[in-house]
Amino acid sequence: MKIVMLGAPGAGKGTQAKMIAETYGIPHVSTGDIFRANIKGGTPLGMEAKTYMDKGALVPDELTVRILLDRVAQDDCKNGYVLDGFPRTIPQAEVLDAELDKLGDKIDYAIDVEVPDENIVKRMGGRRACLSCGATYHIVHIPPKQEGICDKCGSELVLRDDDKEETVMKRLAVYHEQTQPLIDFYTKKGVLKTVDGTVDSTDVFAAIRGILD
């Protein structure tokens, strides 16, 4: 099963993608997590990506596509995957489509997690991220068991540099301009499914299970 998660930054794509990955036994592939791991490791890729991410801009398609295609070519992706944060532009979606087509394959579901902009801005200040394992929490809605510490790996949780309100506003604008057109793209392919992302995360997941089961 190959799944694409769509939705604004902060809609809950990562939260849901992790639950899908655990429940259905497929890897969770997040381009944002790959970039952040590279920034943490001080790699040239990380240093390049950071210049865009800090501004709330997208990393160029060419670089992003290369990273993603390398990742999904790995063995653990053979039986499917859930993509979180990719594609984010029509050209990215077209390349992915063409690569899958060569393999006689396709995306089975594109799940759009719908959350209005007002809710997003409120949510993001409360997001805390683990840069070691990619887990995310919310100080009010999805708190870790111990404040500031990742439940899954024990690392320290941080407020991401790009989750400051100003940068969030910029990312939302970029989302509407460059990523939202993908809703149309996947609707035309007949694979778009929409879920309400404003309800509790367990209820969002119940709706997703209803689609995937």
Q: Active-site positions? A: 13, 88, 127, 160, 171
Is-contact 150 132, C-beta < 8 A? yes
Contact flag: residue 157 with Zn ion (CB under 5 A): no
Tokens of 186: 């996947």
∠ CA 71-54-96, rounded to 5°: 30
CB of 17 to Zn ion, least distance (A): 15
Binds ligand ADP (CB under 6 A): choice among 2, 3, 4, 10 = 10
Fill in the per-residue mask, 117 to 136: x = in contact with Zn ion (CB under 5 A), - = not in contact: -------------x-xx-x-
- Alpha helices (H) in the chain, listed in sequence order: 13-24, 31-40, 44-53, 61-72, 90-102, 117-124, 165-174, 181-188, 201-212
- Indicate the DSSP class of residue 146: S
Please choose which of ligand ADP, Zn ion, none residue 55 contacts, taking the beta carbon within 5 to 8 angstroms, the exact cut-off set by kind. Answer: none
Phi-psi region of 43 (alpha: psi -120 to 50; beta: other; left: phi over 0): beta
CB of 13 to ligand ADP, least distance (A): 3
Contact flag: residue 37 with Zn ion (CB under 5 A): no
Residues numbered 61 to 90 that lie near ligand ADP (CB under 6 A) are 64, 85-86, 88
Binding site for Zn ion (CB under 5 A): 130, 132-133, 135, 150, 152-153, 155
